[in-house]
Amino acid sequence: MRRAATVIATAATALVLAGGYAGLDAVDAVPGPLTTTPAPTATPLPTAPGAAAAGTAAPVLPALDAAAPAPDPAVLGRTVGPLLADPALGASVSAQVVDALSGDVLLSSAADVPRTPASTTKVLTAVAALRALGETTRATTRVVDGATPDEVVLVAGGDVLLAAGAGDPDAVDGHAGLGDLAARTADALRAAGRTTVAVRLDDASFTGPATSPGWGAGDVGSGFVMPVAPLAVDEGRLAEGETAPRAADPALGAALVFVQHLTDAGITVLDPGGGPVVRTPAQAGARELAAVESATTAEQVELMLTTSDNTLAEVLARRVALATDRPGTFDDASRAVVDQVAALGVDVAGVSLQGGSGLGRDTRIPARALTAVLALVASGDHPELGAVAAGLPVAGVNGTLHDRYDEPDSLAAAGVVRAKTGTLTGVSSLAGFLRDADGRLLAFAVVSDAVAPGGSASARRAQDRFATALAACGCR
């Protein structure tokens, strides 16, 4: 099941960062000498002294080595710069390479030009969520007393990863469960001598359209994203699988699951006509009957980055808007994310978001902004951003890079590159970290938004070749 896979994926990411590829192989997360076929070894990603991954007491990554020689920009440009002219990348390419320790720009090609970034947008959303919400916070789904003695209100709190039944404390997707919430609610009701209630739903924290005009017409039906809501079971999937179609009204669907569990627990749920759930705002200060909590924000950020989860990105962006006293709309979420990135000292000139996932075709981000955010993550000045580094897919190992870096011209960088991918029709992007041949940590971004029709796979291979050459180049 998807929830079990999430547990493995999250554990795998932590093991790569803390203990290398052997840890991954031990849980069969990827092929290896303990399973069936050889696979790359994940090179530990250095970070600044004192930087720690979210939720850890000490750094899980080795410190950046200030003594590792820095590349010569002229040599680096001559070595890897020509790879940006690969026809597979199209005629609209931006790129930048930055020394993650010093912040020095080592290569810049149209890096100030805003381009369509696709899912590399999620790097900005991740940083904004960690800053605005805090790495240890959780989304709470509550049941409170209603306006009359025979009412209860299910209050959505931004958890769209709810399990339909029991929650799994070791999972991120499915950490909290509606079955558990219903059982606790039933216990509280019986303790008060109540066995018959009407169920109301308060999902009004997110407002405005639930879908974006920038999304493709088939994005919801194809399972790429759900209509944005603050409550859902397994992100509104109507069947098993990552690309299962999504419910048209995920919050109402979740509420109906809650009602069924409440009924199974022996509580009679009144049907006022038209269905057992009516939308009604909860009253301020209403007494709480029961609650369940999601995985932490840091854990959700890691999952969002590793799997490139569009729905989770959009929901996190809405939660950023609410946390910064904005309405929970697409437009306000987009502005809130940019504001949070700017508050960290990143130059956001040219950054314009259409949602938090990168699905919005009108999103524009310069490559310079992507590398600036990544360098900030690596700097150690903001240890609360550690989940960004932990969540980036590892080349040839996990997430959206698990099936890349397996060609002869890129295999050497498997386990070395950690980067967020991005793909839309006509768009391919890659932004992340790598250690070069001399052990220097580099942040890089390549954004191509004029890829020829049908050329996505070729563009990805071209970007992988660029990163591989960069990793192999001491460039001095």
Query: 173 is written with which tokens?
Result: 């997707």
Interatomic CA distance for residues 176 and 164, integer angstroms: 9
Q: Does 261 lie in the same domain as 160?
A: yes
Q: Does 161 lie in the same domain as 226?
A: yes
pLDDT at 21: 26
Q: Does 188 lie in the same domain as 243?
A: yes
Q: What is the tens place of the pLDDT at every residue in 15-60?
A: 333 333 222 222 223 322 222 234 455 555 554 433 444 343 334 3
Catalytic residue check, 429: no
Residue 339 within a domain: no
Of 268, 296, 324, which residue constitutes the final position of a domain? 296
Strand partners, 154: 143, 201
pLDDT at 60: 34
Residue 307 within a domain: no
Residue 122 within a domain: no
Interatomic CA distance for residues 471 and 475, integer angstroms: 10
Q: Does 285 lie in the same domain as 154?
A: yes
Q: Does 285 lie in the same domain as 153?
A: yes
Catalytic residue check, 92: no
- Contact (CB, 8 A) for 393 and 403: no
Residue 177 within a domain: yes
Q: Which domain holds residue 292?
A: 138-296
Q: Report the chain's terminal Cα–Cα distance, integer Å.
A: 49
Residue 336 within a domain: no
pLDDT at 173: 96
From 94, 205, 294, 308, active-site residue: 308
Residue 152 within a domain: yes
Q: Does 405 lie in the same domain as 260?
A: no
Within the chain, which residues score under 50 in pLDDT? Answer: 1-39, 47-61
Q: What is the CATH number of the domain that holds 71?
A: 3.40.710.10
Tokens 């990827």 label which residue? Answer: 30
Of 296, 326, 350, which residue constitutes the final position of a domain? 296
Interatomic CA distance for residues 201 and 255, integer angstroms: 7
From 108, 122, 420, 429, active-site residue: 122
Residue 184 within a domain: yes
Q: Does 195 lie in the same domain as 75?
A: no
Of 280, 296, 312, which residue constitutes the final position of a domain? 296
Q: By three-state DSSP, how is residue 299 classified?
A: helix
Q: Does 381 lie in the same domain as 255?
A: no
Tally of structural domains, the chain: 2
Q: Does 181 lie in the same domain as 81?
A: no
Q: Does 281 lie in the same domain as 152?
A: yes
Phi/psi at 416 (5° precision): -100, -45
Q: Does 277 lie in the same domain as 144?
A: yes
From 119, 294, 410, 428, active-site residue: 119
pLDDT at 319: 98
Whole-model pTM: value is 0.89
Q: Does 218 lie in the same domain as 107?
A: no
pLDDT at 44: 54
Catalytic residue check, 352: no
- Contact (CB, 8 A) for 39 and 30: yes
- Contact (CB, 8 A) for 356 and 125: yes
Query: 321 is written with which tokens?
Result: 């808007």
Interatomic CA distance for residues 342 and 373, integer angstroms: 10
Query: 408 is written with which tokens?
Result: 């002869």
Length of the chain counted residue by residue: 476
Closest CA to 456 of 427, 431, 432: 427
